[in-house]
């Protein structure tokens, strides 16, 4: 947040990205800068991380009971103010954890998520990236990793160990993944959904839900770092779970 003072009231304010309605772009607005309450820090947000939950909360209104709302999770930069009971290292030997306004820099998890978009919390929203990774197996043994990424990051993702990288913007990406797997002789049973849509993962796994040659139907699993939204389509044989750290 960039803290300024209005000429008339001398009330500190900061520029904030505000969501005015579900699925709508944010608007930059000035908000009164809150004071740091007991055991709390007020942080000047200069850097933010990417979170799939931000995308879901913006597009689906997940965990946002009312608007306008301010979202955001991972933040970092300078401590501006500390509340009561926050150690500053000036009244003790300074050997423990302490925070000095204007000096201490932190990486933190904003309480905005637990405040359901309350306008006094949160950090700036950030750019949305999409990715889908599938773990493949042949005869129940690990065989390969297929991943999706934008064209600009394809070589980088491959350097991390992905056996194949597909362009998630390709309208036929599901067919491309399925065809490649069949050509490689692997059967996709697991998918890790880092960010993006659930449906493409389900579509890929659904293509490999056949029997194992002994009349037994194989099941597939999706591990998602985002919460599975209510009303999401259910594909028989494909289990989707929220992997919560």
Stretch among 1-10, 55-64, 96-105, 213-222 having the lowest mean pLDDT: 1-10
The larger pLDDT score, comparing residue 140 to residue 98, is at: 98
Query: What is the pLDDT confidence band of residue 64, given thresholds at 50, 70 and 90?
Result: confident
Q: What does the pLDDT read at residue 115?
A: 66
Q: What is the mean pLDDT of residues 115-138?
A: 49
Q: What is the mean pLDDT of residues 173-200?
A: 89
Distance CA 195, CA 8 (A): 45
Which domain covers residue 100, as residue numbers?
3-115
Q: Are residues 87 and 160 in the same domain?
A: no
Query: What is the pLDDT confidence band of residue 161, given thresholds at 50, 70 and 90?
Result: confident
Specify the residue for token string 């493409």: 200
Q: What does the pLDDT read at residue 43?
A: 85
Query: What is the pLDDT confidence band of residue 130, given thresholds at 50, 70 and 90?
Result: very low
Helix (H) or strand (E) holding 173: helix 173-184
The first and second tokens of residue 209, run together, are: 């839900």
Q: Are residues 54 and 15 in the same domain?
A: yes
Query: What is the pLDDT confidence band of residue 197, given thresholds at 50, 70 and 90?
Result: confident
Q: Are residues 18 and 100 in the same domain?
A: yes
Distance CA 111, CA 114 (A): 6
For residue 125, pLDDT over 50 is answered with no
Q: Are residues 140 and 215 in the same domain?
A: yes
The answer to whether the bond into 68 is cis (omega within 30° of 0) is yes
The 8-class DSSP code of residue 211 comes to B
Q: Are residues 68 and 155 in the same domain?
A: no
Through-space distance between the first and last CA atoms of the chain, rounded to whole angstroms: 28
Task: Examine the fold and report which residue of 91, 115, 139 is the final residue of a domain before the chain moves on.
Answer: 115
The Cβ-side half-sphere exposure at 184, using a 13 Å CA radius, reads 18
Q: How confident is the prediction for the chain on average, in pLDDT?
A: 78
175-190 exposure pattern, b = at least 16 Cβ within 10 A, e = fewer: ebbbebbeeeebbbbb
Query: What is the pLDDT confidence band of residue 178, given thresholds at 50, 70 and 90?
Result: very high
Nearest to 106 by CA among 22, 152, 46, 179: 46
| Number of domains the chain is built from | 2
Specify the residue for token string 């043994």: 141
For residue 46, pLDDT over 90 is answered with no
The first and second tokens of residue 99, run together, are: 């925070």
- N residues, the chain: 245
Return the number of other C-beta atoms located less than 10 Å from residue 234's C-beta: 11
Cβ–Cβ < 8 Å for 98, 53: no
Residue 184 lies in a domain: yes
Residue 187 lies in a domain: yes
């Amino acid at each position: 947040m960039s803290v300024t003072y209005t000429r008339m009231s001398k009330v500190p304010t900061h520029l904030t990205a505000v969501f005015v309605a579900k699925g709508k772009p944010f608007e930059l607005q000035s908000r009164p800068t809150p004071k740091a309450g007991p055991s709390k820090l007020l942080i000047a947000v200069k850097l933010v991380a990417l979170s799939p939950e931000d995308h879901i909360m913006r597009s689906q209104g997940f965990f946002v009971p009312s608007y306008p709302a301010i979202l955001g999770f991972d933040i970092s930069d300078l401590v501006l103010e500390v509340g009561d009971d926050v150690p500053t290292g000036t009244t003790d030997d300074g050997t423990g954890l302490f925070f000095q306004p204007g000096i201490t820099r932190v990486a933190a998890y904003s309480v905005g998520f637990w405040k359901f978009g309350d306008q006094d919390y949160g950090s700036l929203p950030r750019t949305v990236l999409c990715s889908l990774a599938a773990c493949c197996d042949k005869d129940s043994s690990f065989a390969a990793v297929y991943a999706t990424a934008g064209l600009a990051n394809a070589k980088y993702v491959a350097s991390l160990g992905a056996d194949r990288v597909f362009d998630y913007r390709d309208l036929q990406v599901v067919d491309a993944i399925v065809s490649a797997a069949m050509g490689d002789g692997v059967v996709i049973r697991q998918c890790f959904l880092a960010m993006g849509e659930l449906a493409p993962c389900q579509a890929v796994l659904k293509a490999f839900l056949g029997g194992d040659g002994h009349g037994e139907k194989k099941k597939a699993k999706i591990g998602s770092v985002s919460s599975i939204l209510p009303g999401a389509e259910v594909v028989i044989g494909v289990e989707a779970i929220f992997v919560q750290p």
